[in-house]
Structure 1
Amino acid sequence: MKISKVINNNVITTFDEHNNEIVIMGCGIGFRKNPKDEVDETKIEKIFSMSNSNTTKQFQTLLEKIPLEIIRTANEIIAYAKCSLTKELSDSIYVALTDHLNFAVERCKKQINFKNALLWEIKRFYNHEYLIAKEAIAIIDRNLGIQMNEDEVGFIALHIVNAELNTDMEHSLAMTKMIQDILNIIKYHYQVQVDENTLHYERFITHLKFFVERAFRNNYYQTEDIEFCKMIQKQYTQAYQCSIKIAEYMKSKINYELTEEELSYLTIHIKRITTDMK
């Protein structure tokens, strides 16, 4: 395996057996090396293989200016997230989280704190990712000696959400805001608080996350069961009227029109959580 490009003393690029470009990280792996030199495989710590060539180029550019300890820390956080979630994450997280972490460390050193306006919502809607981000803060403290606040936990959690959904931060923030707005519509429609400690509520939040994600991607869910939809409308009139309000809101915000099937399933979930109202 021969070096294609030396990015810095600790990062090089080469090509695998399928002629795909890969990025290799290791302490001193690029020191006094040149293109076409053999890769010292004893120094390999991590191999980054990305399906998207643009992401690979972005990552290479990023690695040219970021200290090795931050790259290692970001990689440890991503590995922990993958293990905890038991799923693959978009390659974009290597670029987004590494860049964010580098910037966040610089901000902390200068005692510049950014307020996370959606922290409360992130904790409620993406609790698993939030708990992973809390462990990420511990990893950062352990590796870099930098103590970050809870607002930063929220930002890291959203980066994990982005990688799960293969979207960007702007969309994740917008989806989080939309979920909160939908819950507010339900609250004001019924003029009561919804019990957030029930299994029905937890299932509803899961439904909302996938539902809102589909809406942002303009992917419709549709079946042929018209009789089922009519039955739901008739049986759960108040919950259905609440669903209509949500549909009007989504139409005005992102020009997404709910199908009758989506209205019906939304109605069922609303009926379930409002049964537990207090």
Structure 2
Amino acid sequence: MRIEKVLNNNVVITLTDTKEEMVVMGRGIAFQRKVGDMIVIDKIEKTFVPEGNEAIENYSTLFREIKPEIIEIASDAINHAQTILKTKLSDNIYLTLTDHLNYAIKRTSEGIEIKNPLTWEIKKFYKIEYDIGLKTIESIKTKLGVLMSEDEAASVALHIVNAKQDGQEIGITVKMTEVVQDILTIVRLQFGIVFNEESFNYSRFVTHLQYFARRMLEHGDKSSNDDFLFEQVKIKYPKAFECSNKINNYLENKHHTLLSKDEQVYLAIHIQRVTSEKIK
């Protein structure tokens, strides 16, 4: 393989046997190298063929503009995620995560912090991905001296979750959507309301349901059971709790699973929030 384009010291473009442009990544793979030189095979860490000429241009623009250290941090996070999760991530994450980290580092350095409204859900339902996010922001602190918030760890985790690939992904997505729609219908009919789909509470409720449905379909429920909080929510939000019982019955009848007490508590709280804003 010969170098067709040098994007930076760690990324080059070459051609496949079928003359398609291919991204080749590796530490120092282009150091003191030029177009036409042979690629040192031992330095190759990752290769992939982006879909379409536009994708190649996006990679070319991105990797020319971004510091090599940021590309290395993103690549390390992706490689670590694939090792820990034992699954392949979409090649597109090399573009999306690197671009996100570059922007996040820049605005954090300028004192601009953006809260991630999904941090709570991500920490709760995607602990492994969130831990990878924490390691990533720790690496940013060590290598670049930029201190980032836990919200950024959650954003990294979300990129990893979205990039997961396996043969069951489409089937899980379809089933997950069905579960979410069924639960929304139960709540809507129980309270006789029309959801305000533009509201924050609705958005957070749907996100919670998506994470719950995916976790249920992929791994089963691993939540603990907090009896005290369960009883408190049952007393404080009786209508929302009653609705969560109906959802529990639906899950048992159709999906042969039951909510843990923890999950029923969180579900009842979300139902209380999303229905209270309509009642008001």
Q: TM-score w.r.t. structure 1 length?
A: 0.60
Residue 144 of structure 1 deviates from its aligned partner by 2.2
Inter-CA distance 13–212: structure 2 relative to 1 (3 Å threshold): same
2:164 partner amino acid: E
Asked if the contact 2:89/2:164 (under 8 Å) is kept, the reply is: yes
Asked if the contact 1:10/1:27 (under 8 Å) is kept, the reply is: yes
CA distance in 1 between partners of 2:39 and 2:253 (Å): 60
Asked if the contact 2:2/2:39 (under 8 Å) is kept, the reply is: no
CA distance in 2 between partners of 1:27 and 1:275 (Å): 49
Flag structure 1 segments of 5+ consecutive residues without an equivalent: 190-203, 214-237, 247-261
Cα displacement string for residues 180-217 of structure 1 (whole angstroms, at most 9, x for unaligned residues):
x86x95xx99xxxxxxxxxxxxxx9976116799xxxx
Q: Would you say 1:273 and 2:224 are equivalent positions?
A: no
Asked if the contact 1:240/1:264 (under 8 Å) is kept, the reply is: no
Residue 22 of structure 1 deviates from its aligned partner by 2.0
2:162: which partner in 1? Answer: 162
Asked if the contact 2:93/2:159 (under 8 Å) is kept, the reply is: yes
CA distance in 1 between partners of 2:212 and 2:117 (Å): 23
3-state SS in 2 of match to 1:64: helix
User: Of 227, 241, 247, which aligns to 1:242?
Assistant: 247
CA distance in 1 between partners of 2:157 and 2:67 (Å): 23
Residue 59 of structure 1 deviates from its aligned partner by 2.0
Residue 165 of structure 1 deviates from its aligned partner by 5.7
1:234: which partner in 2? Answer: none
1:140: which partner in 2? Answer: 140
Trace 1:206-225 onto structure 2 (pairs within 5 A): 208-209=213-214
1:27: which partner in 2? Answer: 28
Percent sequence identity over aligned pairs: 32
2:86: which partner in 1? Answer: 86
1:118 partner amino acid: L
Cα displacement string for residues 200-248 of structure 1 (whole angstroms, at most 9, x for unaligned residues):
xxxx9976116799xxxxxxxxxxxxxxxxxxxxxxxx9884369x8xx
2:273: which partner in 1? Answer: none
Inter-CA distance 264–206: structure 2 relative to 1 (3 Å threshold): farther
3-state SS in 2 of match to 1:27: coil
Q: TM-score w.r.t. structure 2 length?
A: 0.60
CA distance in 2 between partners of 1:48 and 1:7 (Å): 14
1:136 partner amino acid: T
Residue 153 of structure 1 deviates from its aligned partner by 1.0
Trace 1:38-57 onto structure 2 (pairs within 5 A): 38-41=37-40, 44=43, 46-50=45-49, 52-53=51-52, 54-57=54-57
Asked if the contact 2:122/2:130 (under 8 Å) is kept, the reply is: yes
Q: Would you say 1:75 and 2:75 are equivalent positions?
A: yes
Count of residues in Structure 1 that have an aligned counterpart in Structure 2: 210
2:34 partner amino acid: K
CA distance in 2 between partners of 1:9 and 1:277 (Å): 51
3-state SS in 2 of match to 1:269: coil
